[in-house]
């Protein structure tokens, strides 16, 4: 969608001001010019997988997809929380089709096995929304030896995406839920496992969200031949457990302006369901493609991008070279 010049300037100012663009002010104002909602029933009969959907943005995304008729598959690490989430969705929408799967995306071997089973059960998948997230208070290493935020936000989603490749092929979509916090970090290609310096959970979260922004166009490049669309998006500042529990000070200061979970999830739902031509590999916020850098600083070089891609592929073993 091409915006009128004055509207485009206002949208840009809101985006760069952060408070105007990232809080609930953003969707309230931008709704006047953003693309139309997906048509009712846009996803009827289509299967969509949402990771980390037992609460917060993931649950809100699942709710929005179910309203559009999707057959929704939700994953999480805690079976009881997943059951509660599924029950809430069905209470709100009794005719919805919702299936829950206990899965920990940070476990790469288990994620690969989950993908194999899922493809066998769901040979045609419309979309996967990668929402699962963590903000470890201290540096934590998975049993496979990877820093937890890296495994959860980068390596696990990579394994899952390529594990679902066959099911997604021929028009499927991949949506990465990232964060505006990525703007504050560069691609630390020399320390991807965060072994150097003093560890910060907030920094680890933002660093791996930067990696997701780099990863999305790489996935788009690799999956173009399979006709799979890839997009990353950020939800703005939303009132979710991830914010209130991990960043209580930030939540206290910004509380009155925080978006609700549905406002935060809106663009993920829209990217999954829209019929508009949106291309592949872009970074989105409030239904508009955004720059992957706040300003022309901390920009990764092409060489750094390819080193990162090699690390992810070699660490996970996928995608395997094609003959």
What are the residue numbers of the active site? 205
Q: Is 229 helix (H, G, I), strand (E, B) or coil?
A: strand
Helices 56-67 and 261-273 sit at what angle, rounded to 10 degrees? 50
Which three-class secondary structure string do you get for 167-214? HHCCCCEEEEECCHHHHHCCCCCCCCCCCCCCCCHHHHHHHHHHHHHH
- 247-253 own/partner pairs: CB under 8 Å, 24+ apart: 247/135, 247/202
CA 88 – CA 270 distance, rounded (Å) = 22
DSSP 15-84: HHHSHHHHSTHHHHHHTTTSPPPPPTTTTTT-EEEESS-SSHHHHHHHHHHHHTT-EEEEEES-HHHHHH
Residue 112: exposed, middle, or buried by beta-carbon count in 10 A (0-12, 13-18, 19+)?
middle
For strand 282-285 and strand 288-290, is the pairing parallel, antiparallel, or unpaired? antiparallel
DSSP assigned state of 123: S
In the chain, count H helices and then E strands: 14, 8
Cis peptide before 319 (omega within 30 of 0): yes
């Amino acid at each position: 969608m091409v915006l009128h010049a004055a509207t485009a300037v206002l949208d840009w100012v809101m985006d760069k001001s952060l408070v105007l663009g990232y809080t609930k002010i953003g969707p309230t104002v931008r709704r006047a010019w953003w693309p139309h909602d997906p048509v009712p029933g846009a996803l009827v009969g289509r299967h969509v997988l949402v990771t980390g959907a037992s609460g917060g943005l993931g649950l809100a995304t699942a709710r929005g997809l179910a309203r559009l008729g999707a057959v929704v598959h939700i994953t999480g690490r805690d079976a009881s929380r997943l059951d509660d989430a599924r029950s809430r969705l069905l209470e709100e929408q009794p005719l919805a089709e919702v299936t829950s799967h206990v899965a920990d995306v940070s476990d790469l071997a288990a994620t690969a096995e989950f993908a194999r089973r899922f493809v066998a059960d769901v040979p045609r998948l419309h979309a996967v929304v990668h929402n699962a997230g963590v903000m470890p208070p201290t540096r934590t290493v998975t049993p496979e030896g990877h820093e937890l935020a890296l495994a959860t936000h980068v390596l696990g989603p990579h394994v899952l995406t390529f594990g679902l490749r066959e099911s997604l092929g021929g028009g499927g979509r991949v949506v990465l839920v990232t964060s505006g916090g990525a703007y504050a970090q560069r691609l630390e290609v020399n320390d991807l496992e965060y072994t150097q310096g003093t560890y910060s959970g907030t920094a680890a979260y933002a660093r791996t969200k930067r990696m997701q922004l780099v990863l999305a166009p790489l996935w788009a490049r690799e999956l173009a031949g399979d006709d799979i669309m890839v997009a990353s998006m950020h939800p703005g500042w939303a009132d979710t457990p991830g914010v209130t529990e991990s960043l209580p000070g930030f939540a206290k200061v910004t509380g009155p302006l925080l978006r609700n979970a549905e406002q935060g999830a809106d663009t993920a739902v829209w990217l999954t369901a829209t019929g508009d031509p949106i291309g592949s590999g872009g970074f989105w916020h409030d239904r508009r493609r955004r720059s992957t850098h706040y300003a022309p600083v901390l920009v990764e070089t092409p060489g750094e991008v390819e080193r990162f891609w090699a690390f992810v592929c070699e660490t996970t073993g996928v995608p395997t070279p094609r003959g």
